[in-house]
Amino acid sequence: MTAQIIDGKAVAANVRAEVGKAVAERVAAGKSRPGLATVLVGDDPASHVYVSSKRKACAELGIESFGFELPADATQDKVEGLVSELNADPRVHGILVQLPLPSHLDEEKVLRAISIEKDVDGFHPINIGRLAQKGRDPLFVPCTPAGSLVLAQTVIPKLEGCNAVVLGRSNIVGMPVALLLVRANATVTICHSRTKDLPSVVRQADVLIAAVGRPNMVKGSWVKPGAVVIDVGINRIEDPTHPKGSRLVGDVDFEEVKEVAGAITPVPGGVGPMTIAMLMQNTLRGAELSDK
């Protein structure tokens, strides 16, 4: 039996529609229009694409967008100074510093400089720390992990008691999504390149989140029949049969795994659209926090 395909575009469209409606209601009630500031340091082409798509989403949902671009040789003081200015700007309810930053910059210090009330990426150490602690709630949750969980819950609304396996332990996806799964009362295993007998560990998963950054790594034989598979990977591989000579694939061998899994996200069209949708939701939340 072929797996159910989890349509990330459709789920993201629903989230965006809800945000757009809430923004319109805010403005009609005389409240501030949510505002998102993006900070881009350097000229990385992929980062430019990501920032452009975020600004486009803002325009579609009635969210104010403020774009700031700094040269690749910008100093630590310059970047942190800009962040401080945005912290103080009442029109800005969310600050997103596009990662990765050039290697000479201290990424941790830049993220720490963002006010936790405007940390819509959810990467401030205090927000991550609260996410990791029982009985404490972060103001914001990182967007890709949050979107991954929403997609899993379209198939299994209550994750309580499920065996969840997270493949990958990055600060951006693996660790935060594992913390979110713990909060949902799943039993969570984090595995990685040094895990012994990795396929057998992955095969225990009722819910698998693959975020390791290796194309087509997870094979059909690794997956428990009927499992829900959320593929966070975005990898470009050469493909002479494709018009562009290459194509995007995930960390999961989609063609193999879809014949075993109960549900699976495609790449592209799965987790990707959810990331921006959750960012828009977080920016709205930033505006709501400013009302208090």
State which residues form the domain around 176: 143-271
Give, to the nearest 10 degrees, the angle between helix 143-153 and helix 174-183. 50
Task: Give per-residue pLDDT as tens, 271-291.
Answer: 999 999 999 999 999 999 999
Assess if residue 74 is contained within a domain: yes
pLDDT for residue 46 is more than 90: no
**pLDDT digit string (tens) for 244-269?**
888 999 999 999 999 999 999 999 99
**Judgement on whether residues 158 and 265 belong to the same structural domain of the protein:** yes
The response to whether 129 counts as a known ligand-binding position is: no
pTM of the predicted structure, to 2 decimals: 0.94
Do residues 267 and 153 both lie within one domain?
Answer: yes
Q: Residues 152-157: what's their mean pLDDT?
A: 98
234 marked as part of a ligand binding site: yes
SS3 138: coil
The mean-pLDDT minimum among 7-11, 97-101, 141-145, 160-164 falls in: 97-101
How many other CB atoms sit within 10 Å of the CB of residue 15? 18
Domain assignment present for residue 129? The answer is: no
Secondary structure in 3-state letters for 174-226: HHHHHHHHHHCCCEEEEECCCCCCHHHHHCCCCEEEECCCCCCCECHHHCCCC
Find out whether 168 is annotated in a ligand binding site: yes
In DSSP terms, which residues pair with 210 in a beta bridge? 167, 231
Instruction: Indicate if 179 and 249 belong to the same structural domain.
Output: yes
Examine the pLDDT at 137 and tell me if it is beyond 70: yes
Cα–Cα dist 260/203, whole Å: 11
Place of tokens 């965006």: 16
Whether residue 127 lies inside any domain: the answer is no
> In which element (H, E) is residue 80 found?
helix 76-88
Cα distances from 156 to residues 72, 153, 182, 194, 227, in angstroms, run 44, 5, 15, 29, 10
The reply to whether 163 and 59 lie within a common domain is no
162 and 265 housed in the same domain: yes
Residues acting as catalytic residues: 54, 98, 121
Q: How many CA atoms lie within 13 A of 262 on its CB side?
A: 13
Helical segments of 142-184, H only: 143-153, 174-183
Do 173 and 216 fall within a single domain? yes
Overall average pLDDT of the 125-146 stretch:
96
**Would 83 be classed as within a structural domain?**
yes
Checking if the pLDDT of 1 tops 80, the result is: no
Cα dist from 92 to 60, 119, 289, whole Å: 18, 11, 12
User: Residues 84-99: what's their mean pLDDT?
Assistant: 97
Buried/exposed code over 206-224 (b: 16+ C-beta within 10 A; e: otherwise) = bbbbbbbeebbbbebebbb
| 23 inside domain | no
Number of domains forming the structure of the chain: 2
Torsion sign across C-alpha atoms 3, 9, 12, 13: negative
What is the average pLDDT value for the chain, to the nearest integer? 96
E-assigned strands of 42-183?
64-70, 94-97, 163-167
Residue in the block written with tokens 């799965």: 270
pLDDT greater at residue 240 or residue 130: 130
